Amino acid sequence: MHTPLSRRDLFKSTALGAAAASALTASGCASRRPAGETTLFPRRRYQGGKSPWPICLDFATIRPSSTAKKVRIAAAAGYDAIEPWEGDLHKYEQEGGDLKDLGKAIQDLGLFVPSVIGLWGAIPATREAFDKSLVDTRRRMRQAADVGAKHIQVVPQPKRPWEDFDPKWAADRYRELIEIGLNDYGISPALVFVEFLPGVKRMGQAAAIAIDADHPQAKIIPDIFHMLIGGSGFNGLRHMNGDFFAIFQFNDAPKDMPVADMQDKDRVYPGDGILPLPQILRDLSATGYTGCLSLELYNRTYWEQDHLDVAKTGLAKTLAVIERAGV
């Protein structure tokens, strides 16, 4: 039986107390500075001034650990934020944990939750299926809101053939999800694009759906690994406004492997692979984006290592790329 995590439990080690010394706000929202503006609206710096963005630990990076341990690891490693998966939150609650108390404990450690992954099967092909999916969708929204998340990710599954995917239907349902999230749970759903979903595998396709949703809070979530394997490329970032991004998933792609063979499990630490990360970050900075960079790795080799070491290594390598980018 799971023992609920209290704020006192999270502060057990002195290392965590030190990591929590400087609490951060949970805004995670992006705002675009006026062109050429450098003094009136300076960007906040994070990580001791090393980053213009808060650095977030996606729970997939250290997946086998429990929810409570993942929170403690993120704080001890020095992250600004965490990105749980809905399965983490559901299991925590099912085993007797109180998600609102967990949210308070997360804040006490100086962390915030910009996003939760995600709303699986959120945009099926028919009205009947959509209405049926809302049972799980609403539960996931409520659970994410309970821990203080600003966004929850909309994954437009189930997978179906390209010819059966209607972008207008997806846009209308995405708008409906935004309204439900904001009005009923105070959480803002954001649309992801992933290589294995025909119809929304590229950034341009996700952007079109979000734009056609015709809602001021419509946003997408870029993941640079899926920008590579899904065929989006990276130059499209230069056409975007940073306010359109809810969170930015950060990682690298392995060397000496054909792109066509790459899967999520092959992701590597930032700077250890082939992606032009410094230029990507310079382009991201130019959009005015001020939300989180979220380290998202699914590498099973890392899962088998000490998770605190993995978290610390990922943060150090992310900051090294930011330094090379000069942002």
Q: Answer yes or no: are the C-beta atoms of 111 and 45 closer than 8 Å.
A: no
What per-residue confidence (pLDDT) applies to 20? 39
**Residue reference for tokens 């979530």:** 221
Give the pLDDT mean for 128-144: 97
pTM of the model: 0.87
What per-residue confidence (pLDDT) applies to 151? 98
On the CB side of 221, CA atoms within 13 Å amount to 27
Q: Give the 3-state secondary structure percentages of the chain, helix then strand then coil, rounded to 5.
A: 45, 10, 45
pLDDT tens string 79-128: 999 999 999 999 999 999 999 999 999 999 999 999 999 999 999 989 99
- Write out the two tokens for 93: 């609650």
Q: Where are the domains of the chain?
A: 69-325
What per-residue confidence (pLDDT) applies to 4? 52
Give the pLDDT mean for 233-237: 96
What per-residue confidence (pLDDT) applies to 31? 38
- Write out the two tokens for 99: 């998600």
- Write out the two tokens for 8: 């006192």
pLDDT tens string 139-148: 999 999 999 9
199 closest CA partner among 237, 235, 241, 155 = 155
Q: Answer yes or no: are the C-beta atoms of 253 and 268 closer than 8 Å.
A: yes
294 closest CA partner among 67, 26, 80 = 80
Give the pLDDT mean for 186-206: 93
Architecture of domain 69-325 in CATH?
A: Alpha-Beta Barrel (3.20)
Element (H, E) at 119: strand 115-119
pLDDT over threshold 70, residue 41: no
What per-residue confidence (pLDDT) applies to 6? 52
* Peptide bond preceding 118 in cis form (omega within 30 of 0): yes
Confidence of residue 133 (pLDDT cuts 50, 70, 90): very high
pLDDT over threshold 70, residue 28: no
Confidence of residue 163 (pLDDT cuts 50, 70, 90): low
* Peptide bond preceding 222 in cis form (omega within 30 of 0): no
